[in-house]
Amino acid sequence: MSGLTPVSFKKGRASEPRLSPRYESGRRHSRFWKDNELAIVSEHYPKGGMAACLARLPGRTPSGIHQAARKLGIGSEKMPAERASHDYGPEMDVRIQQEWPNLKGRGAVDALALKLDVPRWWLSKRATKLGLAAPHRKEPRWTEAEDALMTKVPLHAPEVAARIFREHGYHRTATAIVVRAKRLDLSRRTHETLSATGAAKILGVDDKTVTTWCIAGDIKAGRRGSKRLVQQGGDAWAIEPAELRRFVLDNLDRLDIRKVEKFAFVALLVGDAA
């Protein structure tokens, strides 16, 4: 017995980077407002407006301060009596044309607006009018044909859906398709195939058992083509209801009928399972 070599049955798993930072107890993300920050907004926003708060909250943006004040139900007394005129003359246009080509990196436009002492929005608008920046164009309206196509493409795979849209002559990005699915209240879950977990619930077995049957080839199954990493369990199985039905009919001796999900099991046998 002393000459036996210990054997590990633990399966090796490829090392891949984490998808998110490691959790640290008691630490919150900087995007969440702290009580002392909200106290500063409550104290200084009514009298001094956004500028007074921004000087005391260097890590916050003007829009963030306005939103925090709105949530607190606080208004500012420092409002302009009349709309200011932003006519800086041709000299300002010359300065913008000289400075704009040298802008690099994030926040460069903000820094230039501060340097020229002009509003940030006005600088961007003026640069667009001078031909220095490309105008922002809104996404074209969705047509009825595109909405009809949304119900036919695989929304669980946005990249594939975008390719199908291009094949039909529509240019929509994967992100645009995901956003449109939310607005149309369309589920992005696939109803054409079953995952190993979904099949296991119907058969009344553990999902690892179904995975073993898929690996062994007892259940003919493919993959869904998702981008899940190894630490997330890998790509999910895609089992056709017809293949699961064939497995059930050929292997009734492997199943305990007392444990199956009776309604889903009957629907699978009669061919109504999605």
**Among the ranges given (29-33, 75-79, 131-135, 166-170), the one the predictor scored with the smallest mean pLDDT:** 75-79
* pLDDT attached to residue 190: 62
Q: Are 221 and 212 in contact (CB under 8 A)?
A: no
Whether residue 253 has pLDDT greater than 70: yes
Most confident by average pLDDT, 83-87, 94-98, 185-189: 94-98
Residue 18 has a pLDDT of: 73
**65, 45 Cβ separation under 8 angstroms:** yes
Quick count: other Cβ atoms within 10 Å of Cβ 162?
Answer: 20
- Beta-sheet pairing, 222-223 with 237-238: antiparallel
Q: Are 157 and 151 in contact (CB under 8 A)?
A: no
Would you say residue 12 has pLDDT above 70? no
Q: Is 80 exceeded by the pLDDT of residue 119?
A: yes
HSE-CB at 160 with a 13 A cutoff on CA atoms is: 11
Return the structure tokens found at 99: 């400075």
Least confident of 36-45, 172-181, 222-231: 222-231
> What predicted TM-score, i.e. pTM, was given to this entire model?
0.42
Question: How far is it, in rounded angstroms, from Cα 222 to Cα 109?
Answer: 50
